[in-house]
Structure 1
Amino acid sequence: MTLDPQPQLTIADRERGLRLLVNEAVFSGGAAALTSGVILTAFALHLGASNVMVGILAAMPFLAQLLQLPAVQLIERWRRRKQIAVVASLIGRTMLAVMAMLSFFSGTTALLVFLTAQMLLCGLGAVGGCAWNSWMRDLAPEERLGEVFARRTVWLTAVSLVLGLVAALAFDWTAAGSGARNAVFAAMFAAGCVTGLISARIVAMMPEPLMPPVKGHANLRELLRQPLGNPNFRRLLVFIASWQFAINLATPFFTVFIVRQLHFAVSFVLLLSVASQIANILALRLWGRLSDRFANKSVLAVCAPAYILAIVAMIGASQLGDRTAVKLWLVGLHLIMGATIAGVTLASTNIALKLSPKGSATAYVATSAMTTAVAAGVAPISGGLLAQFFAARQFELVARWSSPNGVFTLPIVLTAWDFYFLLAGLIGLYAVHRLSLVRETGEIERREMVGQVLNETRRSIRNISSVAGLRAATDLPAALLRDARLRIRLKRAEQRPRMR
């Protein structure tokens, strides 16, 4: 095993690398599932983090992406992507061992060490990820990208769902603040460290093609100036910035809201996350089909407002008195958010590529990614500060209906996080307005797109009523792989007459 690139890759080398690429997803997915998302936020609360610290923690992965700019220059000079990816992964994931030891401590010092470790993990992950992406584009043949990454995505999703359920059970069996809860957090981060190091070992075994010779140094400032000079793409950037700010102002604090204000267990939050992921997977095919048939903007025009309304509807959880009703309300909202964010993520990525001129896509996509990183990074920090402000405010509105049968009173009380979700919704509505100014060929009216969504949903429900329909509903990964194989066979069949 060597970390140096290979001048020539044989077919056997490439096939071995692709198999390792899929296998590695089990371990990298396991590390992420046990040490990020809801679990990371719950761990911060376990250590006594304030709302501001939770906001900083949520901002780190996004702001760290800005390190990809110097990482590009490092890769171009060093030209050893595997070395960069492996070393960054090894150093970064040892920080998980530090976090595991912090499970038995609390106070300001533990929090500062925790934030520093997370900062190093995110920063090194961004540098390693930049090298990884460039390396994978050269390793995986273009005609097999769909097949390989579909299989990888299936493993990532499956591992995330299974470990999410296991973590929910572990939290459900231990009391908050107990020694057993300390041990659960320590075990999760220690297991994440081990699986992360195994992932780095597998990555080190994968072959790296030699990078092509340098053709000259491009002026990064000039490249980034091109997208800003395009009026239509500039309008898209305003939408991306306002949208990312709105959703990242709210979503990182869902765990804090549900645990601290609604007083539900962390295990319930993890189950909500699992439900959201399942809805995301099931809706992805629908949005992909509609975006191909019509336009990405049409999909965004449906998904974005629905997601924003779901964020605002989180206020309803604090108004309902019955705990069972609150649980059902939160499950429904997370299903809606999971399904709609799938469409937003898919369509926003596609529209950025579609509006990028041929030959200049790199600069346009990089500008879009940096806009996302800045907006999504600033939002949770701002949210943490606003949370402190709204914590001491309250707005009460009483609706009263009088009739001969009596008086019906409906009190509406907005406190703390309720203001917060309402503000995020207002910014989200502004983002939807900015989206309406973007021009994309093939777009249709929102009402027509809603009709298409309903038609697709009715067709899916009719299919589910049969055994064949049940099989089709659970056949997403296999369908993706079959589609990829059919495309490969078709391409080979077209090439055979030329070879003869």
Structure 2
Amino acid sequence: MSLQPQPSVSEAERDQAMRQVVTEGAFASAATALTSGVILTALALHLGASNLVIGVLASAPFLGQLLQAPAILLVERLRKRKLIAVAGGFTGRAMLALMALAPFLPGDLGIAALVIAQLVLCGMSAVGSCAWNAWMRDLAPDDRLGWVFARRTAYAAAISLVAGIAAAIVLDRTTEGSSWRSIIFGVLYGLGFLAGLVSAWLTSRVPEPAMPPRPEIQLGLVGLLRAPLADQNFRRLTIFLASWQFAINLATPFFTVFIVRQLGFDMTFVMVLSAVSQLSNLVALRNWGALADRFANKSVLLVAAPTYILCIVGMIGASQIPHGPWLIAYLVVLHLFMGLAIAGATLATTSIAMKLSPKGQSTAYVACAGLATAVAAGIAPILGGGFADFFAARQFEVLLRWTSPEGVAIVSPLRLSQWDFYFLISGAIGLYAIHRLTLITESGEIRRREMVEQMIDQTRRTVRNLSTVAGLRTLTYLPATFLREAEIRARFLRRQRLKPKPG
């Protein structure tokens, strides 16, 4: 195992590397699923954290991206992306061991340890990701970017689904605030730490093509960012990504708090909703990946992004429905569509930044977009947590009065309070983000209506497959199917490259 770049990477090595990247993604997603999102919020609530602390924890992944600025200079000067990616990933994952100890520390000390560990974890992950993204841009073939990231994201969704259900079952067997729940959180974060170590080891086994020779004139940070900022199309992409991340992160990190505190459900139900979202995410990824490769990432975003924004605004409807079966059904359906939409949005936003950045300069381009989105997405949840008490003391209500000989009847069809305001504001900002998306140019893009028709056709074929016993049986073979497709695709590409060219 060597952490040094190599002068060239053969096609066979690239094919093997793509499979290793997908496998590594499974362990990375396991570490993430067991230690972030709903699990992290649940741990914070278990420790008695305030809304502001929850907002800081949610903003840490994005504030950590600010370290991409020095990471750009580190990559450009050291020119050893694999070494930086592995070192950053290992250092960050080591913080999961500290987070595993947080439930056993007294009072505010546990919360402080959780916040500090989360900030270090996200910061080191950002440094490693900066090098990793540039590394993958030069390693992965253009015609397989969508395929690789679709498979990698599919594994992430599958692992998150299993981890979420397992965590829900285990947490349901413990009493809220009990020492047993502290033990469960310690075990979850300990397992996440081990999965992170395996992920770092697998990353170290992927070959890195050497970067072009370092120019004699060394550019500072401003010089490196000048090219992406001068590129009008990439600048438009950066503005879209920043506004999009601000919109969704103003409200999304507080879904768990909203469902538990305002709607009155327990944490197990939140885990079930997360599992529903992850399952729909997993089912949709194959279609989104195929459409992104066939047409363009922008076309996928023009369908997925508005759908997700509508789902965020749709959370307001949950507070208008009385607690009962109808509310449960509404939340399940809403999370089903959220999973479908965020699958396409995540896949497309990951790929489009790489696709629009020139080879050999991707470090500066991808990091430029990352810095802008980090500031926007990092500020959003902190503002949300900081203003939680302000909106908690305010309410907007629409009253309808009906006067008749029998008397006066007053009906309130709409009542907004606390987190409802965030969902509404998030929707308004999301509309602006979608407007910015329409200004971006990407080769192969098609109109939104055509993309919707293509997605409907893909969905109909999937539904027809699921309508038979054989189709239902294929669901149990889903992970194996992904592996077989990867192997078949790799063999096909090797045969195509070895086939003698005519003339």
User: TM-score, with normalisation over the residues of structure 1?
Assistant: 0.85
Q: Once the 2 structures are TM-superposed, how far is the Cα of residue 469 of structure 1 from its aligned partner?
A: 4.2
The corresponding residue for 1:249 is 250
| Distance in 2, Cα, partners of 1:447 & 1:24 | 36
Stretches of structure 1 lacking an aligned partner (at least 5 in a row): none
Letter in 2 for 1:428: G
The corresponding residue for 1:464 is 466
Would you say how many aligned residue pairs link Structure 1 and Structure 2?
500
The corresponding residue for 2:423 is 421
Is 1:496 aligned to 2:468, yes or no?
A: no
Q: Once the 2 structures are TM-superposed, how far is the Cα of residue 26 of structure 1 from its aligned partner?
A: 4.8
CA contact (8 A) 1:249 1:424 kept: yes
Q: Once the 2 structures are TM-superposed, how far is the Cα of residue 466 of structure 1 from its aligned partner?
A: 3.1
| Distance in 1, Cα, partners of 2:289 & 2:20 | 28
* Residue pairs, 1:331-370, within 5 angstroms: 331-353=332-354, 355-356=356-357, 362-370=363-371
User: TM-score, with normalisation over the residues of structure 2?
Assistant: 0.85
CA contact (8 A) 2:157 2:281 kept: no
| Distance in 1, Cα, partners of 2:300 & 2:449 | 11
CA contact (8 A) 1:398 1:409 kept: yes
The corresponding residue for 2:229 is 228
Q: Once the 2 structures are TM-superposed, how far is the Cα of residue 331 of structure 1 from its aligned partner?
A: 1.1
Residues 74 and 178 of structure 1: CA distance in aligned 2, closer, same or farther (over 3 Å):
same
| Distance in 1, Cα, partners of 2:482 & 2:207 | 29
Deviations for 1:111-170, whole angstroms, at most 9, x for unmatched residues?
Answer: 222211111111122223334445566777889878876765554443322221110101
Q: Once the 2 structures are TM-superposed, how far is the Cα of residue 313 of structure 1 from its aligned partner?
A: 1.0
Letter in 2 for 1:482: E
Residues 304 and 401 of structure 1: CA distance in aligned 2, closer, same or farther (over 3 Å):
farther
Is 1:371 aligned to 2:377, yes or no?
A: no
The corresponding residue for 1:161 is 161
Letter in 2 for 1:457: T
Deviations for 1:310-365, whole angstroms, at most 9, x for unmatched residues?
Answer: 11111111111132222211111111111111222233344445555677555443
Q: Once the 2 structures are TM-superposed, how far is the Cα of residue 188 of structure 1 from its aligned partner?
A: 1.3
| Distance in 1, Cα, partners of 2:338 & 2:309 | 9
Letter in 2 for 1:225: R
2:399 is paired with a residue of what secondary structure? strand
Residues 105 and 288 of structure 1: CA distance in aligned 2, closer, same or farther (over 3 Å):
same
Letter in 2 for 1:489: F
2:319 is paired with a residue of what secondary structure? helix
The corresponding residue for 2:111 is 111
Letter in 1 for 2:37: G
The corresponding residue for 1:39 is 39
Letter in 1 for 2:282: I
* More deviation, 15-24/262-271: 15-24
* Residue pairs, 1:132-211, within 5 angstroms: 132-133=132-133, 153=153, 155-201=155-201, 203=203
Deviations for 1:403-450, whole angstroms, at most 9, x for unmatched residues?
Answer: 899968344321111111111111112222333344455555444443
| Distance in 1, Cα, partners of 2:234 & 2:71 | 25
CA contact (8 A) 2:158 2:279 kept: no
| Distance in 2, Cα, partners of 1:8 & 1:440 | 30
* Residue pairs, 1:305-320, within 5 angstroms: 305-320=306-321
Residues 455 and 399 of structure 1: CA distance in aligned 2, closer, same or farther (over 3 Å):
farther
* More deviation, 287-296/325-334: 287-296
2:387 is paired with a residue of what secondary structure? helix
Q: Once the 2 structures are TM-superposed, how far is the Cα of residue 43 of structure 1 from its aligned partner?
A: 0.9
Residues 228 and 474 of structure 1: CA distance in aligned 2, closer, same or farther (over 3 Å):
farther
Deviations for 1:18-40, whole angstroms, at most 9, x for unmatched residues?
Answer: 77656544543332221111101
CA contact (8 A) 1:295 1:441 kept: yes
Q: Once the 2 structures are TM-superposed, how far is the Cα of residue 54 of structure 1 from its aligned partner?
A: 1.2
- What's the % identity of the aligned pairs? 56
Letter in 1 for 2:391: F
1:497 is paired with a residue of what secondary structure? coil
